[in-house]
Amino acid sequence: MDGDDFSRSAEATGASGMGGAVEAEDVRQFLALTRSLDEGQARFCLEACGGNLERAVDMYLSDVAGHGAVQGSSGPPSDPSAEQSSSSGMNVRNGGDRGFLVGFLGGLLRLPFTILSKTLGLVQSVVMYAVYIPWPQLRDDYERSHAEENSELQARQFIDRFEFHYGAQHPPFVDKSWREAAARAHREFKFLWVYVHSPEHEATDSFCREVLCAPEVVAFLSANFVCWGGDIRQSEAFRLAASLGTTTYPFQSLLAFSGSRTQPVSSMQGYLSPREMLDAIQQALDEQGALLVAERVDRERMDYDRQLRQEQDLEYERSLEKDKRLEAQRKKIQAEEAARKQAEREEEDRKRREIEAEDRKAEQMVAAIEGRKQQKQRSLKEEPAAGDEVAQIRIRMLDGSNHLRRFRYSDKVQDIFDYVDSLENLGVLSYSLVQMFPRKAFDDDGRDQTLVEAGLVPDSSLLVKSNDE
């Protein structure tokens, strides 16, 4: 249970056992001086101060009421036997009416300062709430930080006072609030050992010097617990003691877990020798240590589960990253394959267009050759009979065939071209006629020459040479 749960338990425990050692007259005077209506709280303060009315009133005014002690809590009951044992020392009335008069005058002298302090505190609270009401989160943070600072301050003050009175050899008290100490103990799988210090009780001084400062006790507590201590006159320890049902001092308790799970597992009240204290704590460890073992097992299981999830998440991320890389590679390969196929299609289209162009060109050339052939066949001069001034020309075609024809000496070289154009197996659109001996080529130039001028009489052999690409 947390601090609020402790406060509620304090309300439940109330003032059920406080009436034995505290005088009714002291309670009446306490209520009259403090203007309080809570008789249980009056008895608790008187018990905490060993029956000293002046100190009880001062404690109430300066600490309990000033820090807003556990609301509705009447304080824990006292132990009648313990009070009877202390009645000879600290639980006296300090001289009856004389003590009452001194306490009353002291309360009256402090009353203006108390009223001024309360007024300033009230003004500060009103101002802060007026500022922070529009922003609840800021208000909550402000209250939480100040409560934590106040708890830490009280813890440090207790440690300083303890060392001042009893020296530096003592249990390693944590200078934080008991809640923070409980959280630390929970993290370390330890119990929180709590000591509530009541300076007004006659056994407190000897208990601190002879027991808490004993080397074996200090060593045992240091090795096995997280330790926290508080002064009952301070609000932090006061509320904790009330919630734990403290009835006798010195008071010790072992707390397990933290936060809402905080629970007391053992309490030790009254004076114990070092051996008795160590035996009692060891017995509590033996009986309740299974809680820590179970907590450690649960923590290890949760850590294992968390580590397993982290490893699984990491493995999943690695697998996902691998899948992403494979997907990227697959897309890259697909893109490259698509680009290659696109290039192949484009190349095929280009070749097809080239072939089609060549086919069209060939068709056009064949058509042109055929048209020229038919035209030349219609306009070709008749072959002359053999005789004088008639030359015989042998023409070797591209396919190796030979054609022999007679031409007049006066015919032009163009007439020989016309004859070649009329042949069936020419197969070219542009060509030249080449005379081998002496070597001479006839193309577009020289076609107007006569056979005599061209040196092709009385006979000659000409070779058809294609000029088409």
Determine the pLDDT at residue 113: 63
Residue the block writes with tokens 């697959």: 330
Q: For the chain, how are helix, strand and coil distributed in percent, rounded to 5?
A: 60, 15, 30
For the four alpha carbons of 371, 374, 379 and 381, in that order, the dihedral sign comes to positive
Could you write out the DSSP letters of every residue in 379-448?
HPPPPPPSSTTEEEEEEE-TTS-EEEEEEETTSBHHHHHHHHHTSTT---SSEEEEETTTTEEESSTTTT
Q: d(Cα 122, Cα 406) in Å, to the nearest integer?
A: 144
Percent of the chain with pLDDT over 90: 48
Strand partners, 435: 440, 462
Q: Which of 50-54, 95-99, 393-397 has the highest mean pLDDT?
A: 393-397
For the four alpha carbons of 419, 425, 427 and 431, in that order, the dihedral sign comes to negative
What is the band of 109 on the pLDDT scale with cuts at 50, 70, 90? Answer: low
Cis peptide before 250, with omega less than 30 degrees from 0?
yes
* Residue 63 burial class via C-beta count within 10 angstroms: exposed 0-12, middle 13-18, buried 19 and up: buried
- pTM of this structure: 0.45
The domains of the chain, with CATH numbers, are 3-272 (3.40.30.10), 390-466 (3.10.20.90)
Cis peptide before 458, with omega less than 30 degrees from 0?
yes
Three-class secondary structure of residue 167 per DSSP: coil
Residue 141 has pLDDT above 80, yes or no: no
Q: What angle do CA 362, 365, 368 make, to 5 degrees?
A: 150
Residues 338-390: tens digit of each pLDDT: 999 999 999 999 999 999 998 888 888 888 888 998 998 899 999 999 888 99
Determine the pLDDT at residue 122: 66
Q: What angle do CA 233, 237, 242 make, to 5 degrees?
A: 100
Contact indicator for 155, 180 with CB cutoff of 8 Å = no
Residue the block writes with tokens 């939480």: 144
Determine the pLDDT at residue 349: 93
Residue 276 has pLDDT above 50, yes or no: yes
Q: d(Cα 193, Cα 181) in Å, to the nearest integer?
A: 9
Query: What average pLDDT does the segment 216-242 reach?
Result: 94
Determine the pLDDT at residue 52: 82
β-strand pairing of 390-396 with 459-466: parallel
Q: Which of 87-96, 140-149, 294-303 has the highest mean pLDDT?
A: 294-303
Q: Which amino acid is at 452?
A: V
Helix or strand (DSSP H, E) at 264 = strand 263-269
Query: What average pLDDT does the segment 305-321 reach?
Result: 92
DSSP for residue 77: P
